[in-house]
Amino acid sequence: LAKTTQPISMDSYEGQEVNITCSHNNIATNDYITWYQQFPSQGPRFIIQGYKTKVTNEVASLFIPADRKSSTLSLPRVSLSDTAVYYCLVADDKLIFGTGTRLQVFP
Amino acid sequence: DAGVIQSPRHEVTEMGQEVTLRCKPISGHNSLFWYRQTMMRGLELLIYFNNNVPIDDSGMPEDRFSAKMPNASFSTLKIQPSEPRDSAVYFCASSYRVEKLFFGSGTQLSVL
């Protein structure tokens, strides 16, 4: 049973900011939140990870509220190459991928 | 580092044949995972190893599936006998921290 819930799909246009929210109501105290990106015919690729508040790297930002029951992946100014499936995972001793969010970026 | 290396990239076989998928994890990683991906079921965790020891194989669908990790640099996933419903992309991933996985390019398996 997946521990996370996220939208099945999202559409955006080039240059826009995209926010993908993931719900993880049963997150444990020690769990980290990790996001992966998967392109067709490739394995998932680690994007960003956080525990609380905000984390930013060269690819994305991750916002985690104080209760940690959800998280939001923010992709600034998306391009066509950001079209992919994005997975939110809550870490435990075995990593279960949910259905992911299929992001389609249009010109 | 070359990353996680899987072989073969593509495998086409006939029902009933034995199939062996191979994985070389990133050097220094102590955990190894086998996943299967299909359109219908998404990414499914089959089994994972920690320090070469199988920790959880509850995702292995049937006794036809077996996985081994004889040393820190090599793992196999075997299907015997194979069936058409085993057709999928099989991914191997390794990590030094459980939360941060590095995936291989996958093996596209087609069982006719």
- Give, for all 107 residues of chain A, the pLDDT tens digit: 447 899 999 999 999 999 999 998 888 888 889 999 999 989 999 999 999 999 999 999 999 999 999 999 999 999 999 999 999 988 765 677 888 999 999 99
Q: For residues A89 and A96, is the Cβ–Cβ distance under 8 A?
A: yes
Closest CB to A43: pick one of B42, B55, B93: B93
Which phi and psi (to 5°) does residue A106 adopt? Answer: -105, 155
Q: How far is A64 from chain B (nearest CA, A)?
A: 17
- CB-CB contact of B93 with B100 (8 Å): no
Could you tell me which of A4, A68, A67 has the C-alpha nearest to residue A36? A4
Interface membership of B49 toward A (CB under 8 Å): no
Closest to B103 (Cβ–Cβ): which among A44, A91, A100? A44
Kind plus residue range of the DSSP H or E element containing B72: none
Residue in A closest to B43 by C-alpha: A97
DSSP reduced 3-state for A81: helix
